[in-house]
Amino acid sequence: MSEHFDVHGGARLTGEVEVVGAKNSVLKLMAAALLAEGTTTITNCPRILDVPLMADVLRSVGCDVEIDDDVVRITTPAELSHEASSSAMSKLRASVCVLGPLVGKLKKAVVALPGGDAIGSRPLDMHQNGLRKLGATSSIEHGCVVAEADGLHGAQIWLDFPSVGATENILMAAALADGTTVIDNAAREPEIADIAAMLGEMGAKIEGAGTSTLTVEGVAELKPTEHRVIGDRIVGATWAFAAAMTRGDVTVTGVDPHHLELVLEKLRLAGAEVTTYDGKGFRVRQPERPESVDFVTLPYPGFATDLQPFAVALSSVSEGTSMITENVYEARFRFIEEMVRLGADARTDGHHAVVRGVEQLSSAPVWASDIRAGAGLVLAGLCADGITEVWDVFHIDRGYPNFVENLNRLGARIDRVGTPGPEAD
C-alpha cells in the first residue's frame, strides 16, 4: 500500500507560509563539504527525503554525517574513498555532484550514475567534457562515471548550454586545480551563487558568481565552514501560484523576491496584486479569476522549467488561452496528461502546449511523475470540484517540507492516506 493525498477542492488559500533552504542548493553544498577535511556545518536545511539520501551518498565515501533538525554537519576524513556507490545514488540527481569534489580532492572518482526525476534525457557530457578540459579522463563504465587525473590544471571551458549541474561540478573541481579556470556560458541560477559563496568562505577564489562567466583561481587547500542555505525559490513560487490559482492572499517569507522577479511579473500580468519585501519575501493576492498568460521556460533568469507544471495548472483555470513553451526538459509535458484527467483543456505539440482555461476542474485520481508535477496536481486539485486523489506522493516529499501541513494551515483540506511506500523509506 502506498500513500496518496485526498485533496478537497474549493479552498481559497490565505495566510503566511515560511520557506526554508533550497533543495537544489543544500544537496550541492553537502557535496562541497567533501573538499575540506574537518566538519562543515550547513544551516536552514529543508527536512525533505533528499537530504538523508545525500547524507548516505557522503557516508559511502567515508564522511560522518549528522542531521539535527535543520542543521547538517558533515565531517570529512583525511582519507576519503573515491567510490560513491550508495543505493541512494540512484534516487536523486544531485548525487552526481560528488563527482567534481572527488576529482578535485582525490584526482579520482567512480560515481554511480544518478537517478532523480523522470523529466527527460539528462546526459552528463558537459560534466565530463569540463573535467577533461581540466586534465582528467572520463568514461562511463558499468553504470558509473569514472574520472581520473594525474593533476588538474586551469582551463578555458565553454559550456554548450548553461547546465546547473555541470557548472557546479566543474566549479568544485577547479577550486583545487593548479592555475585559473574560466567557465563561459555558466549557469546563473541563485543556487550557483550560493555554492560559490560557500566555496569562497572555504577559501576558494571565485569571481563572477551569478554571471555567465565564472573565473576560478585554484588553491591548494580548502577549509571547512558554516553556511546558511538560501531560501527555496521554487517552493516560494509554488505558494505564489497556489495563491493565484485559488484567488487567495498568501504572504511568503524566507525567500528573496529578487530570485523570482519574472515569476512575480507573470502573476501580476495574470491579475495578481504582488508586494515584495526586500530580501525577505512577498505577498500575492488574487482578487479575480486569473487571466491567461504565456510562459517560456529558460535557464535563469528565465522562467524556471521546475515551475512549468504550475504555469500549466494556473493556465488551466485562467480566463483565455495560454501558450507554454518548454525549452529545457521535453518530458515535463507528461504532466499535461494528468491535468487532462482533471478536466483541463490542454494539448501539446512538440515543446509547446496550448491550454484553454476552464471555470473549474473536475476531481479524478491522478499520478505524480516527479516532484513539481506532483505539487502541480495538488494545486489543481484545490481548483476541482470534489476530492482529487493524488498518488505517488513520495515524489512530493522529496522536495516540499511539510507540504500538506502548510497547505492545511493556509485553509486547504488535504488528507494524507495510507502508509509510506518502499520509495519513502
Q: Which of 40, 60, 86, 163: binder of ligand UD1 (CB under 6 A)?
A: 163
Q: Binding to ligand UD1 by residue 19, rule CB under 6 A?
A: no
218: its cell numbers: 585554484
Contact segment (CB under 6 A) with ligand UD1 among 243-251, 273-281, 302-310, 387-395 equals 302-310
Using DSSP's 3-state secondary structure scheme, residue 416 falls into strand
Q: Which residue has the cell 508586494?
A: 275
**Cα 305 from Cα 309, distance rounded (Å):** 8
Euclidean distance between CA atoms 11 and 3, whole angstroms: 22
Q: Is 408 annotated as a binding residue?
A: no
125: contact with ligand UD1 by CB under 6 A: yes
Among 305, 315, 322, 406, binds ligand UD1 (CB under 6 A): 305
Rounded to the nearest 10 degrees, how much is the dihedral formed by the CA atoms of 21, 26, 29, 30?
130
182 - beta bridge partners?
156, 215
Task: Decide if 378 contacts 384 (C-beta within 8 A).
Answer: no
Bridge partner residues of 250 (DSSP): 15, 284
From candidates 1, 121, 287, 422, binder to ligand UD1 by CB under 6 A: 121
Quick one: which of 57, 74, 164, 346 contacts ligand UD1 (CB under 6 A)? Answer: 164
Give the shortest CB-49-to-ligand UD1 separation in angstroms.
13
Where does residue 410 rank: exposed (0-12), middle (13-18), buried (19+ CB within 10 A)? Answer: buried
Q: Which residue among the candidates 117, 249, 256, 370 is catalytic per the annotation?
A: 117
* Residue 173 · residue 152 · CB < 8 Å: yes
Residue among 161 and 277 whose Cβ is closer to ligand UD1: 161
- The pairing of strands 156-158 and 180-184 is parallel
- Of 251 and 305, nearer to ligand UD1 (C-beta) is 305
Q: Is 73 annotated as a binding residue?
A: no
How many residues in the shown chain lie near ligand UD1 by CB under 6 A? 21
Q: Binding of ligand UD1 at residue 407 (CB under 6 A)?
A: no
d(CA 55, CA 40): 13
Among 166, 252, 346, 355, binds ligand UD1 (CB under 6 A): 166
User: Is there a catalytic annotation at residue 415?
Assistant: no
Question: Binder to ligand UD1 among 82, 93, 233, 266 (CB under 6 A)?
Answer: 93
With 0-12 / 13-18 / 19 or more C-beta atoms within 10 angstroms meaning exposed / middle / buried, residue 170 is buried
Determine if 127 is a binding residue for ligand UD1 (CB under 6 A): yes
Site string for ligand UD1, 22-61 (x = CB under 6 A): --x-------------------------------------
Tell me 319's DSSP state. B
The smaller minimum CB distance to ligand UD1, of residues 3 and 191, is found at 191
Looking at 53-61, 171-179, 236-244, 298-306, which segment touches ligand UD1 (CB under 6 A)?
A: 298-306
Evaluate the CA torsion angle 267, 250, 340, 398 in order and state its sign: positive
Torsion sign (Cα): 242, 392, 335, 49: positive
Identify residue 30 by its one-letter amino acid code. Answer: M
Query: Is residue 93 part of an annotated ligand binding site?
Result: yes
Known binding residue 129? Answer is no
Q: Is 377 helix (H, G, I), strand (E, B) or coil?
A: helix
Length of the chain: 425
Quick check: 282 binds ligand UD1 (CB under 6 A)? no
122 contributes a contact to ligand UD1 by CB under 6 A: yes
* Residue of closest CB approach to ligand UD1: 165
Q: Is the separation of the CB atoms in 234 and 22 below 8 Å?
A: yes
Closest by Cα among 155, 9, 165 to 101: 165
Residues 326-345 that bind ligand UD1 (CB under 6 A): 328-329
Q: Which stretch binds ligand UD1 (CB under 6 A): 30-38, 139-147, 163-171, 214-222?
A: 163-171
Query: Considering only residues 249, 256, 306, 392, which one is a binding residue for ligand UD1 as defined by CB under 6 A?
Result: 306
Cα–Cα distance measured from residue 241 to residue 313, given in angstroms and rounded to the nearest whole number: 9
Query: With binding defined as CB under 6 A, does residue 161 bind ligand UD1?
Result: yes
Could you tell me how far CA 217 lies from the centroid of its own chain? Answer: 28
Report the binding-site residues for UDP-N-acetyl-alpha-D-glucosamine: 93, 306, 328
Active-site residue numbers? 117
Report the binding-site residues: 23-24, 93, 306, 328
Report the binding-site residues for phosphoenolpyruvate: 23-24
Q: Which residues bind ligand UD1 (CB under 6 A)?
A: 24, 93-94, 121-127, 161, 163-166, 187, 304-306, 328-329
